[in-house]
Amino acid sequence: MVHKGQKGMKGLHLEEYTSQKLKANEVRVRLKVVGLNHRDLFTVAQHDENTVPLIIGSDGAGVISEIEAENGQFKVGDEVVINPGLEWANATAAAPESFGILGSPNSMNGTFAEEVILPIENIAIKPSFLTFEESGVLSLSALTAYRALFTKGEISEGKSVLIPGIGGGVATFLLQFAKAAGAEVYVTSRSEEKLQQAKELGADKGIQNDANWEVELDGEKVDLVIETVGAATFQRSLKQLRPGGTLVLIGSSTGDTIEFNLREFFYGQYTLKGTTMGSAEEYQSMLEFIEKHQIHPVVDQIFEIEEFKKAFKKLENGKQVGKIGLRIS
């Protein structure tokens, strides 16, 4: 799936590409299912249609068809998942300057294709209990959620966490991971259907976005808020923190600029942390965590790749719970 020639979604189309030869330390993966992320929408909107054509997509799972590397872990025929993060090995406080993401301009071509070539360190054996539909939509959102919750949020059993805007891939993984860790989990949404589905996944309480969150939580303050929405909910998220609590900021889909009271912030002894994606070390820890707790990604719908416009439209409308994927014929 290539973006070129026209701005936005109009420049996105399917076309034939010539397979490239592998370089040293590379692997070729024949893809089965790939996953959509909101960053794909941003990439299409921001990519200069007159520059080098770009194959978009970050998530995917498939089968190794060729290896050009000495290794004792992988062989042709192995079923694998793809870590879309490039050149970030260890769980450092922030990504290195060289960090990139598959399917981005100035990075590597992405996964929305029959095959993808990437460094061998960017694959892992597919968890055997997951289907290709589940593993194909796993990586980017699950890694982002894992780092936010554990590395930055330091969640543990008995703590409480608030997740505004439940429904998308990252928020859904946050809910599943936090419950598996033994935390109390509260979520918000504008959709009663999404709140009900969140409760079925283990949420301890679901709150309408336009309700008074403090009243709905009977005055309870939480240890941790994972903020994925941005300006629309940031102030209320901050008010729901207990003194000394932590707010981890992942996204800003409703705006990048906010104001908040500095005096209230330092009197409250709050901690504000930013994060995005994660390292290869955290990716492996995430896979081990979902294996240990047998966590299945929530798959909203899998489209055939030829139906990519319908898939992107559903993602853009934000009606899904969990992940949307494309099946590669």
Q: Are 146 and 285 in contact (CB under 8 A)?
A: yes
139's tokens: 């990586």
pLDDT of residue 254: 79
Q: How far is CA 305 from CA 35, 80, 134, 245, in A?
A: 11, 20, 16, 43
With tokens 């719970």, the residue in question is: 321
pLDDT of residue 214: 95
Amino acid at 64: I
pLDDT of residue 242: 98
pLDDT of residue 108: 87
pLDDT of residue 159: 98
Q: Are 224 and 155 in contact (CB under 8 A)?
A: yes
**pLDDT over 90 at 97, yes or no:** yes
Q: How far is CA 111 from CA 30, 116, 168, in A?
A: 10, 6, 20
pLDDT of residue 258: 87
**pLDDT over 90 at 253, yes or no:** no
Q: Are 234 and 170 in contact (CB under 8 A)?
A: no
Give the chain's mean pLDDT: 95
pLDDT-derived band at 101, boundaries 50, 70, 90: very high
Q: How many CA atoms lie within 13 A of 141 on its CB side?
A: 35
In order of their start, the domains of the chain are: 2-138+297-327 (3.90.180.10), 143-274 (3.90.180.10)
pLDDT of residue 71: 84
Task: Report the percent of the chain where pLDDT is more than 70.
Answer: 100
**Rama region for 20: left / alpha / beta (φ>0; ψ in -120 to 50; rest):** beta
pLDDT (tens digit, 9 = 90+) per residue, 33-56?
Answer: 999 999 999 999 989 888 889 999
Distance of CA 220 to the CA centre of its chain: 29
Selection from 25, 92, 54, 123 nearest residue 279 by Cα: 92
What is the sign, positive or negative, of the torsion defined by CA atoms of 76, 81, 84, 89? negative
Local structure of residue 9 (DSSP, 8 states): G
pLDDT (tens digit, 9 = 90+) per residue, 264-279?
Answer: 999 999 999 999 999 9
pLDDT of residue 279: 98
* Beta-sheet strands, E only, within 26-143: 26-35, 54-55, 61-68, 79-82, 85-86, 100-101, 115-119, 123-125
The contacts found for 207-215 with CB under 8 angstroms, 24 or more apart, are 209/164, 209/165, 209/233, 213/162, 213/188, 213/239, 213/240, 214/239, 214/240
CA 312 – CA 316 distance, rounded (Å): 6
pLDDT-derived band at 63, boundaries 50, 70, 90: very high
CA 46 – CA 89 distance, rounded (Å): 27
Task: Report the percent of the chain where pLDDT is more than 90.
Answer: 86
pLDDT (tens digit, 9 = 90+) per residue, 141-166?
Answer: 999 999 999 999 999 999 999 999 99
pLDDT of residue 162: 98
With tokens 């034939």, the residue in question is: 16
pLDDT (tens digit, 9 = 90+) per residue, 279-292?
Answer: 999 999 999 999 99
pLDDT of residue 260: 87
Q: Are 245 and 183 in contact (CB under 8 A)?
A: no
pLDDT (tens digit, 9 = 90+) per residue, 175-212?
Answer: 999 999 999 999 999 999 999 999 999 999 999 999 99
pLDDT-derived band at 312, boundaries 50, 70, 90: very high
* Cβ within 8 Å of residue 329, ≥6 positions away: 304, 305, 306
**pLDDT over 90 at 319, yes or no:** no
Residue 66, strand partner residues:
28
117's tokens: 């070539």
Task: Say what the pTM is.
Answer: 0.96
